[in-house]
A and B are shown apart, each in its own frame.
Chain A
Amino acid sequence: MSISAEEVKKVAHLARLAVPDEQLEGYVRNLSNILKLVGQLQAVDTAGVEPMAHPLDMAQRLREDVVTENNHREQYQAVAPEVENGLYLVPKVIE
């Protein structure tokens, strides 16, 4: 199994990772090798094996529905690049 340069670019874009053109070929080769390994794993007959959702063989602990957090807005916003009227400001996301 292999991956194309186009697919690498698409995945990098979805993950918001910058991949310079000169490094593209290296990513294609390395990721294709990883996929080859995955292909080998997929050749194993897993019929009747329950898919594993988590490596730890335990169940999720649940918390009681109680409000335990106080307002720490001032502290969090002290390290934010820009705030106004209690809002975090970010570059405009719609035109």
Chain B
Amino acid sequence: MEWETVIGLEVHAQLSTNSKIFSGSSIAYGAEPNTQANLVDLGMPGVLPVLNKKAVEMAIRLGLAIDAQIAPKSIFARKNYFYPDLPKGYQISQYELPVVANGHLDIELEDGGAKRIGITRAHLEEDAGKSLHEDFHGKTGIDLNRAGTPLLEIVSEPDMRSAKEAVAYLKKLHVLVRYLGVCDGNMQEGSFRCDANVSVRRPGQPFGTRAEIKNLNSFKFIERAINYEVGRQIDLLESGGKVVQETRLYDPDRDETRSMRGKEDANDYRYFPDPDLLPVAITAEDIAAVRATLPELPHVRMQRFMDAFGLSHYDAELLTQNREVAGYFEAVASGCNDAKLAANWVIGEVSKALADNGLEIAASPVSSDALVELLKRIQDNTLSNKIARDVFAAMWDGEGSADEVIGRKGLKQITDTSAIEAVIDEIIANNPKQVEEYRSGKDKLFGFFVGQAMKASKGKANPAALNDILKKKLEG
């Protein structure tokens, strides 16, 4: 008999604000320990939290993008537990009345179909500090720079039925938060973290007991951890055992999940409304103001690229993973008036050069305008595609504009047929044996002649003209 997997995901997205959610400390990554932890963050007596306006706007932004309800009145609660990297003894979070409720995200399935994943809620909360368990003479070191960093916890419905669906949902959400500019999505630095609630059941039966897997910081690990956990639960149930509701930690080195013991009573968080914070009022005008600044959403833009530019689903999806890349592509496509050529270059040379140099497109040494100038030289036959790639590399290295590089290096494509004929005549004269073999039916040698001619013209001969002339001449 078959088992059905049931997955719900909780994503913690670190909001891209300048300051903390309840204090004026910086949240810049990588600062010296405890240099961004001040009185409010340290939980000193007598201090009061003051909510960051930008964090609320970002929560609304995400809420609107997932078609959710924005609460006109939202409240903060204290989640109580003791841990040294939580100085106050409670985390300020939201329990009743989160900012965002009842949204959804549509994912694409492998068979090409679509599936709607419900998003129960998204609430604002503060992050905790970091505990360093390396050896400090048997003690634990605490860095509170991260304490008070604004997080948006995005909680899905248990709507996913496989690890692949879970990853599809996460990737979609990952693209969306970056697109909206609410989170940088950096998984290595922990800006986008995921916990997975996993259970199995017989189809049609009520939900099984779930385990919560923590410490999932890459799409690959998320897929593996879920698959491992599903296998573990099925083995357990089929051998007559029971799944225990617990928190499990994924260990990527061993590719397994392990129980985190000793957290049983810690799960009694005794939430209550935080008396230090008044209810947050969000008016229709506030929502309208945020809505007015929403960008075209990635799935809408992808569809437009397919409809307006005739791009394939694959190309359109690649070009809309990132708002800056999509903007760059659109500028190039409208500049050179050939969307397919623009797509090939942005997905090809530009993306490759960016990846090789670890750069974001905003830092590309070749601007969209500069690329348009280069592509125009392909369109007017000044350059072959091959030479254009060399020119691009030179432009990338700061050697000037396309026309400057072409002029300086003498790379202008030879389209003058008499010049090409002269080159070919010489090759035919110098290779009588190959010419004879070709004429007696060895067609494969055509490539040899093309190669020789290209070499002789230093790659500058127009390939189409070269092929035509060569064919005629060889046939005598």
Residues of A within 8 A of B (CB): 10, 13-16, 51, 53-54, 56, 58-69, 71-73, 76-77, 82, 84-94
Contact = CB atoms under 8 A, between A and B. Distances in A.
B75 A53 contact: yes
A59 to B, nearest CB: 4
B115 to A, nearest CB: 36
Contact of A85 (B23, B141, B275): B141
A69 B25 contact: yes
B265 A69 contact: no
B141 A56 contact: no
12 contacts: A53-B73, A54-B75, A59-B281, A65-B55, A66-B18, A71-B36, A86-B34, A86-B143, A87-B141, A87-B142, A89-B142, A93-B83
A91 B56 CA distance: 36
Contacts of A62: 50-53, 56, 280
Contact of A76 (B19, B42, B75): B42
B335 interface: no
A17 B84 CA distance: 17
A16 B35 CA distance: 29
A16 to B, nearest CB: 6
Given A53-B75, A89-B139, A76 B34 contact: yes
A54 B82 contact: no
Given A54-B75, A66-B24, A93-B140, 7 more contacts: A54-B275, A60-B51, A63-B50, A63-B52, A67-B18, A77-B34, A86-B35
Given A54-B275, A56-B278, A88 B34 contact: yes
Interface of A is mostly: loop
A38 to B, nearest CB: 13
A66 B140 CA distance: 32
Given A65-B54, A92-B140, A93-B84, A71 B278 contact: no
Contacts of A93: 83-84, 131, 133, 140
A88 B144 CA distance: 9
A69 B268 contact: no
- What 4 A-B pairs come out closest when comparing CB atoms? A68-B24, A87-B141, A65-B54, A59-B281
B197 interface: no
Contacts of B279: 53-54, 59-60
A92 B133 contact: yes
Contact of B24 (A63, A72, A90): A63
Contacts of B133: 92-94
Contacts of B50: 61-63
- Among A64, A71, A94, the most chain B Cβ lie within 10 Å of the Cβ of A71
A51 B273 CA distance: 11
A74 B36 CA distance: 12
Nearest to A84: B136
Nearest to B81: A14
Contacts of A90: 84, 139-140, 142
A74 to B, nearest CB: 10
B80 interface: yes
A67 B136 contact: no
A86 B33 contact: yes
B355 interface: no
A83 to B, nearest CB: 8
B278 A60 contact: yes
B254 interface: no
A54 B96 CA distance: 13
B316 to A, nearest CB: 34
Contacts of A71: 35-36
B257 to A, nearest CB: 18
Given A60-B280, A62-B56, A67-B19, A73 B141 contact: no
Nearest to B130: A87
Contacts of B32: 73, 86
A5 to B, nearest CB: 17
Interface string B82-121: 1110000000000011000000000000000000000000
Contacts of B25: 67, 69
B151 to A, nearest CB: 15
Given A53-B75, A60-B278, A14 B53 contact: no
A82 B136 CA distance: 11
Interface string B120-138: 0000000000011100101
B217 interface: no
Interface string B276-318: 0111110000000000000000000000000000000000000
Contacts of A65: 17-19, 52-55
Contact of A84 (B42, B52, B83, B141): B141
Given A54-B278, A59-B280, A89 B38 contact: no
- Among A76, A82, A88, the most chain B Cβ lie within 10 Å of the Cβ of A88
Contact of A67 (B24, B273, B278): B24
- Among A13, A64, A68, A73, the most chain B Cβ lie within 10 Å of the Cβ of A73
